[in-house]
Homo-oligomer: A and B are copies of this chain.
Amino acid sequence: MQNLARQVLKQDIRAIARSISLIENETDITQKEALIDTLHPHCGNAIVWGITGPPGAGKSCLLDRFIEHLRQDNKTVAVIAVDPSSPFSGGALLGDRLRMQKHATDDGVFIRSMASRGHLGGVAGATADAIKIFDAAGFDYVIIETIGVGQTEIEVMELSDIVLLVLVPGLGDEIQALKAGVMEIGDIFIINKKDLDGADRLKSEVEYVLSLKDSIESDSKHPICMTSATQNDGIGNALSQINSYFAGLRDDGRLAQKRKERIEKELKHIATTKIMASANRFLNIDQRLNGWVEEVFQKKVSPYKLLNKKIGDFLQEINWQ
């Protein structure tokens, strides 16, 4: 294990791939924990982007352009494509499309899709561990990509330092997106396909909503970038806005704050998982449950009444009450 971690720190591509499989499959929890713990002191250098938006917004092409620019700048990039709502999300996985293309033979780019339905910590847990692996391996940028913004996707986006929300005119979703307050999770707003009809109107709408948002969070001014990924137009400008936004976060302490909140969530999540595992072992909940299911099914007792009583008894047994 220490050996695997050592290879990851040396940026060995096969060791990285093996590590991701290890955290994804969770066949050996002890091994996984040891790996992450060994890598932990080497983390914190990568810049983590989240990129999300509706299917059809051109995220795939846009990300491709960003990678090109970052590579020209000699930066290394790892992409984690997360698609918990596959296969109905309306778009093929970015990672799969990209992998076939020009970056396939470039050692400075590593693209991985996450399919982690079985992971104890859910998709977000697996993604958090994957970020650590790439971060420790020395990638300059780790980019997490999701399609759609459901509960899971928001959890995933919260793992990043900066969230890029890609919008596009003409999908008819604009106003819905604004209403639903999804814009809350975005740091940078990218209006792609800027040559399409309605791009300027979309920009005005986003500006309006952001003016409300910025008046509440006085510490942030969210950039809106106009791009045309297919025509390679506006990418450099977007990139420099993203970089200076990041520099702002880093310099005034908000980045550290954000990362501490991430650690807090992570610790809370691990603690919950471990306490519940012990509770199950100690209280034998799984075994006792069988009798209760039958009683509830036959309507001899109602669920909350039963559990309030039983759990009250448990807690008395162990003097928690």
Given the complex, which residues of B lie within 8 Å of A270, measured CB to CB? 303-304, 307
Taken together as a complex, chains A and B put the C-alpha atoms of A263 and B293 apart, in Å, by: 6
Nearest CB in chain B to that of A266: its residue: B303
Q: Which residue of B lies closest to A264 (CB)?
A: B293
Interface contact A53-B307, CB-CB below 8 Å: no
A150 and B318 within 8 A (CB): no
Evaluate contact between A55 and B271: CB separation under 8 angstroms: no
Dominant SS at the A interface?
helix
Give the size range of A's interface with the partner. 35 or more
How many copies altogether? 2
Q: Are A302 and B149 within 8 A (Cβ)?
A: no
The interface-forming segment of A12-20, A80-88, A234-242, A245-253 is A80-88
Stretch at the interface among A173-181, A186-194, A225-233: A173-181
Q: Verify if A260 is at the interface (C-beta below 8 Å from B).
A: yes
Nearest B residue (CB) for A279: B275
A303–B276 CA distance with the chains assembled, in angstroms:
18
Q: Digit string of A149-162 for contact with B (CB within 8 Å is 1, else 0)?
A: 11111000000000
With A272-B276, A274-B311 known to touch, is A304 a contact of B85 (CB < 8 Å)?
Answer: no
Q: Are B274 and A177 in contact (CB under 8 A)?
A: no
- A/B interface sample: 24 pairs, CB < 8 A: A36-B302, A36-B304, A37-B302, A37-B303, A55-B90, A85-B151, A86-B176, A87-B179, A88-B147, A92-B176, A117-B151, A151-B152, A152-B152, A266-B303, A267-B292, A267-B306, A267-B307, A268-B286, A268-B289, A270-B304, A274-B311, A275-B276, A275-B279, A278-B321
